[in-house]
Amino acid sequence: MSDILSHENLQIIWFFLWGLLWSIYFVLDGFDIGLGTLLPLVAADDDERRMVYNAAGPFWDGNEVWLITAGGVTFAAFPKAYAVMFSALYAPLLILLFALIFRAVSFEFRNKIDSRGWRKAWDTCHFFGNFLPALLLGVAFANLFKGIPIDGRGIYLGSILSLLNLYGIAGGVFFVIVFAFHGALWLAIRAEGALHDKARKTASMLWPALLVMTLLFLALTWVYTPLYNNYFKTPALLTVPFLAVTVLLAQPFCLKKGRLVSAFTASAVFIVGVTLFGVFGMFPALVPSSISAAASITVASAASSQVTLTIMLVVALICVPVVIAYQAWVYSLLSFKIIPEYLASEEAY
């Protein structure tokens, strides 16, 4: 047991858990973000807009727990990486924070005043409060995969404009499309009638764009990042991107046959696969430097002490299953169809 819980092994375990927690967040909050991004495109009237809100309503705040968890793990397990990451990406992360705040407020405030202008204003906030996080998360993670300009002291030598490079922008667009497709599938599962049909049609229309952006992002990853090096060294890791591409190619068949739950599950697996593809490719770096490989923040240089990582692992093994069980219960209880009669209830947004 002492060998398993050696400092080196704990670093690797927490690096994997770090990537897994981010992928879980992208899967769960991804459909919420996708729903908000699609709001102006799929909702024709106020009832349909309310259906979109209520498709995410019982889940969005619980889903964001995983964002706090992923950020907390970064802070506790790899404090140096947290410090460098959040200082280098300070501006986009601050914009992301305010966008998420306005998204949360839009859920609660939209129907407080019976005014078309009031609701339209909060619908606009809701759209940008979902679109911007998708875009910014894509830009941020793409730049991490590529490497950011930090020196040996961990000081960021770039600007917010240096993050808006071709690969970073491609990552942002890729995330927007991934989440929009994911959200369209969730809406098709939860909605009925015309909105269900529009959501299913939107998912079918987004899939070709998703396929093109996936192939483009993989090609740009080859050009701009060293991620593939780990896959050449350890070919067994290729199962991760292979699985992601396989489930992506299966989705049109699921949509055609009306197997929306299967399509949504495949979308979730695709998101996990894409996230872990980048994370495994980064190892052992957590914050790669584009200036010099020696300046990169690695798992070994950023990790907390062995005692800290051990305590965190014990707490995670006890608490995370409880959180998962509770959230699974919430989904089983509240994943009902959104029908017009529900909108008249007090629980509806």
Domain locations along the chain: 12-305+335-343
Q: What are 286-316's pLDDT values in tens digits? A: 999 988 888 889 999 899 999 999 999 999 9
- Residue 145 is predicted with a pLDDT of 93
pLDDT for 3 equals 65
3-state secondary structure the chain: CCCCCCHHHHHHHHHHHHHHHHHHHHHHHHHHHHHHHHHHHHCCCHHHHHHHHHHHCCCHHHHCHHHHHHHHHHHHHCHHHHHHHHHHCHHHHHHHHHHHHHHHHHHHHCCCCCCHHHHHHHHHHHHHHHHHHHHHHHHHHHHHHHCECECCCCCECCCCHHHCCHHHHHHHHHHHHHHHHHHHHHHHHHECHHHHHHHHHHHHHHHHHHHHHHHHHHHHHHHHCCCHHHHHHCHHHHHHHHHHHHHHHHHHHHHHCCCHHHHHHHHHHHHHHHHHHHHHHHCCEEECECCCHHHCEEHHHHCCCHHHHHHHHHHHHHHHHHHHHHHHHHHHHHCCCECHHHHCCCCCC
Residue ranges in the chain modelled with pLDDT below 70: 1-4, 348
Domain boundaries 12-305+335-343, CATH class? mainly alpha
pLDDT of residue 146: 92
pLDDT digits 0-9 by tens, 27-78: 999 999 999 999 999 998 888 899 999 888 888 888 988 999 998 999 999 9
Check residue 90 and give its pLDDT. 85
pLDDT at 344: 74
